[in-house]
Amino acid sequence: MSTPIVVMGACGRMGRVIADLARDDEAFSLVGLVDSRTDALTMTGDCATGGTLAEVLPRCPGAVVIDFTAPAVSLADARLAAEKGTPLVIGTTGFSPEQLQELGELAKRTPIFWSSNMSVGVNVLMKILPELTKALGDKYDIEMVELHHNRKKDSPSGTALMLGECLAEARDWKLDDVRCSARDGIIGERPKAQIGIQAIRGGDVVGVHTIYFMGPGERIEVTHQAHSRETFAQGALRAAAWLAGREPSRLYRMQDIF
């Protein structure tokens, strides 16, 4: 049986790719497309379409919603999903701690999945990084540089923060206590307990994250490059198939699928 999918943010960079993949994959049926830019909702076939999820959801019974939009929009969708018992996959990044906490509460009422990076590569990296960090020991300074396209709204990227949290945990630090995302002027020596995360923006870069482990006489660089948005879209669809029929719990993450 195919999983019915509603794509929220269907005219966006991610939404378009997700809708195209769902349309071409018999494991899914694309039943709804939502975007506030309703004039751009073209080539919709049999789909229910509209400018808000509240308008489209009643026409798509049993669907899983995939949402790649903006934090306030995704949160409003999660509130509606919790009311209706609709499973929701969120790929949006840039949530505040308070917004994430509310998402966690809503996940107790309807199955909600959230990952700031849906690629297999980054999530496998999350498994390997703690081991690498611990094996190298604390003589190695950790820094990260991320590159994204010039339309990206949040900085550092959700992926950089997720990787940063993973690295900080491996050192028994909290990322918020040790993150440095700007250096300018007479900044003095680099503190030992620090993880630098710098953001570069330009062109049409889909996403590159490089982590540097810099120690005495040597340096290790670990780079993940997303070549296309398809890798994230495939991950979102995989999460939707996994989420369908699941019970509400805590906020599900990519590690739950692996």
Interface with ligand NAD (CB under 6 A): 9, 11-15, 34-37, 68-70, 73, 91-94, 115-118, 158, 232
Rounded CA-CA distance 93/159 in Å is 8
Taking the least distance from each CB to ligand NAD, the nearer of 117 and 133 is: 117
What is the closest distance, in whole angstroms, from the C-beta atom of residue 119 to ligand NAD in the complex?
A: 6
Taking the least distance from each CB to ligand NAD, the nearer of 47 and 178 is: 47
Rounded CA-CA distance 249/105 in Å is 9
What is the closest distance, in whole angstroms, from the C-beta atom of residue 190 to ligand NAD in the complex?
A: 29
Closest residue to bound ligand NAD by CB: 12
What is the closest distance, in whole angstroms, from the C-beta atom of residue 157 to ligand NAD in the complex?
A: 7
Catalytically active residues are: 148, 152
What is the closest distance, in whole angstroms, from the C-beta atom of residue 4 to ligand NAD in the complex?
A: 19
Taking the least distance from each CB to ligand NAD, the nearer of 213 and 242 is: 242
Taking the least distance from each CB to ligand NAD, the nearer of 28 and 113 is: 113
